[in-house]
C-alpha cells in the first residue's frame, strides 16, 4: 500500500518536473523575442505664403493709426492691431484675415510677440502671411526605411523600453511593426496652422482696431 502511494507521489513529482522543463524554455524563448513598438506619428511641416484679405475697415472700427517704418504712406487695410489681455495682462494682437487651403476665410488674433512683421514689400503691394502648417499620420513602411528608429524594440530583457531616447533605440524591421511594402498610407491630420511672418509694403500705416469690431469667431494664438 505504502509502496503504491510512494510510486504515485514519485510519478506526480516527475510529471511536475517534466512540465516545468517544458514551460521554462518557452518562457525564456518568449522573453528573448523582441517586442516591437511603432512611433504613433510622423510629422510633416510646410510653409506657404498667402495673400491677406482686406479687413474692410470703417472709421467706426479704427481707434488709432501707427506707422511701420518711416513716417508716411497709406493706411493698410490687411493688418490691424487689437489691444486685449491674456491672463490678466495687457497684450497687443495682430489681426489678420486670409483664405485657408480648404477655402474657409480665417480671422486670426496673434500676440504681436509671436509673429514677425516685415515691411519688405513694394509700396501698394498686397500684404502676405507665411503660414507654417504641421500635419501628422501613422508611419508607413517607406517612412521606417528612411527613419529606422520609428519601429523599435521595447523588450526589457534586452535592456530597452519605450523610455529609450531616440538615439538609443534598437531598430527593428518594419514588418515587426505590421508595416509592409505597398500598404496604403493613412490620411494626414492637421496638427496646427501658425502664421509666422507677415510681409507688408514699405511705409505702411497699421491701424488699431476697436476690439468690439473683431468677429467673435476669430482664432486666438
**pLDDT higher than 70, residue 74:** no
Cβ contact 105:9 at 8 Å? no
- Structural domain boundaries, residue 65: 55-127+196-220
What torsion do the CA atoms of 92, 97, 102, 103 make, to the nearest 10 degrees? 160
Q: Which of 100-104, 122-126, 167-171, 211-215 reaches the highest mean pLDDT? A: 167-171
Do the domain assignments include residue 92? yes
Q: How far apart are CA 174 and CA 29, in angstroms?
A: 22
Indicate the pLDDT class of residue 141, thresholds 50, 70 and 90. very high
Do the domain assignments include residue 2? no
Do the domain assignments include residue 145? no
Q: How far apart are CA 40 and CA 78, in angstroms?
A: 39
pLDDT of residue 137: 96
1-10, 74-83, 211-220 — which is least confidently predicted?
A: 1-10
Do the domain assignments include residue 18? no
Q: Give the chain's radius of gyration (CA, Å).
A: 32
Cβ contact 173:221 at 8 Å? no
**pLDDT higher than 50, residue 46:** yes
The predicted model gives 17-37 an average pLDDT of 59
Count of the separate structural domains present in the chain: 1
**pLDDT higher than 70, residue 21:** no
Q: Which residue has the higher pLDDT, 18 or 186?
A: 186
Q: Which of 135, 108, 99 is nearest to 195 (CA)?
A: 108
CB atoms within 10 A of CB 174: 23
Q: How many residues does the chain have?
A: 221
pLDDT of residue 127: 87
Do the domain assignments include residue 207? yes
pLDDT of residue 143: 96
Indicate the pLDDT class of residue 66, thresholds 50, 70 and 90. very low
Do the domain assignments include residue 73? yes
Cβ contact 92:82 at 8 Å? yes
Do the domain assignments include residue 121? yes
Cβ contact 201:122 at 8 Å? yes
Q: Which residue has the higher pLDDT, 37 or 71?
A: 37
Mean pLDDT, rounded, of the chain: 77
**pLDDT higher than 50, residue 79:** yes
Query: What is the percent of the chain with per-residue pLDDT over 70, rounded to a whole number?
Result: 75
Do the domain assignments include residue 17? no
Q: pTM of this prediction?
A: 0.64
**Sequence-separated (6 or more) residues with CB below 8 Å from residue 117:** 68, 79, 94, 197, 198, 200
Amino acid at each position: 500500500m505504502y509502496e503504491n502511494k510512494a510510486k504515485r507521489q514519485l510519478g506526480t513529482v516527475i510529471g511536475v518536473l517534466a512540465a516545468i522543463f517544458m514551460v521554462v524554455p518557452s518562457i525564456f524563448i518568449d522573453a528573448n523575442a523582441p517586442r516591437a513598438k511603432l512611433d504613433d506619428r510622423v510629422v510633416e511641416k510646410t510653409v506657404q505664403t498667402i495673400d491677406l484679405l482686406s479687413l474692410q475697415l470703417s472709421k467706426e472700427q479704427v481707434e488709432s493709426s501707427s506707422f511701420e517704418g518711416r513716417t508716411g504712406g497709406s493706411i493698410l487695410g490687411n493688418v490691424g492691431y487689437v489691444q486685449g489681455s491674456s491672463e490678466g495682462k495687457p497684450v497687443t494682437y495682430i489681426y489678420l484675415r486670409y483664405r485657408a487651403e480648404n477655402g474657409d476665410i480665417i480671422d486670426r488674433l496673434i500676440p504681436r510677440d509671436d509673429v514677425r512683421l516685415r515691411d519688405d514689400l513694394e509700396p501698394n503691394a498686397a500684404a502676405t502671411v507665411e503660414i507654417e502648417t504641421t500635419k501628422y499620420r501613422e508611419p508607413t513602411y517607406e517612412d521606417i526605411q528612411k527613419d529606422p528608429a520609428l519601429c523599435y524594440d521595447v523588450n526589457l530583457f534586452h535592456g530597452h523600453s519605450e523610455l529609450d531616447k531616440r538615439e538609443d533605440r534598437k531598430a527593428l524591421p518594419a514588418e515587426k511593426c505590421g508595416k509592409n511594402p505597398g500598404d496604403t498610407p493613412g490620411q494626414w491630420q492637421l496638427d496646427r496652422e501658425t502664421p509666422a511672418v507677415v510681409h507688408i509694403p514699405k511705409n505702411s500705416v497699421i491701424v488699431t482696431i476697436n476690439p468690439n469690431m473683431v468677429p467673435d469667431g476669430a482664432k486666438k494664438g
